Amino acid sequence: MMSNDIERISFSADEIRMRVQELGAEIARDYRDDPEPIYCVGILKGAAVFFTDLVRAIDHPVAFDFMIVSSYGEATVSSGQVKLLKDLDFSIEGKHVIIVEDIIDSGTTMHYLKQMLKGRHPKSIKICAFLSKPSRRVAPVEIDYLGHEVPDDFLVGYGLDYAEKYRNLPYIGVLKRSVYE
Ligand code: PRP
Ligand code: MN
Ligand code: MG
């Protein structure tokens, strides 16, 4: 599935699959001494695709929950303000939580989420992101499980969108400038 709007592929579906398996194995290893479920919190909509792959790669009990937040809307740069559109269904007090994101860019979304969820007294809270763009960071974020660091390219696919498009591409690619300029 190659879109004409893609300049080049950054991570193929196979490369993604391999890295997700490694992340899942790393997570299962880190929690193996505690039989309690890991509350994986997917941040919709971007994390939807990565989330469903990741949880199936974790050989440990996992509970699902989701939040919907948006800071970009249809813009290409973060508004700097995070809108909480859907909160968790469950209390995370005393639970092991992993926040799952497709990408950490300026860090605004994750900084906001971690502060907020920390305040609900989980037993532990960690961050798992498939991609990170450290060169764009505005708010500090410590990532516990990271798929790949990436340069400041406009990436889409595997959950990442531009104006809600391209999320279903099975690979991650650089969007042609002509599409958004
Ligand atoms: C994107 C991405 C992260 C966030 C990262 O979500 O999925 O959640 O931006 O950017 P930041 O580190 O600069 O905050 P977006 O707000 O576009 O919503 P979406 O997940 O529905 O695409
Ligand atoms: Mn998002
Ligand atoms: Mg988006």
pLDDT in tens, 104-147: 999 999 999 999 999 999 999 999 999 999 999 999 999 999 99
30 belongs to the catalytic site: no
- Looking at the CA of residue 106, tell me the nearest atom of ligand 1: 13
* Interatomic CA distance for residues 26 and 144, integer angstroms: 10
pLDDT for 9-40, tens place per residue? Answer: 999 999 999 999 999 999 999 999 999 999 99
Catalytic residue among 34, 53, 65, 105: 105
C-alpha triplet 177, 50, 102: angle, nearest 5°:
50
CATH of domain 14-150: 3.40.50.2020
- Looking at the CA of residue 46, tell me the nearest atom of ligand 1: 20
Q: Which ligand is nearest to the CA of 102?
A: 1
CA 109 to centroid of ligand 1, rounded, Å = 7
* Interface predicted TM-score (ipTM) over 0.90: yes
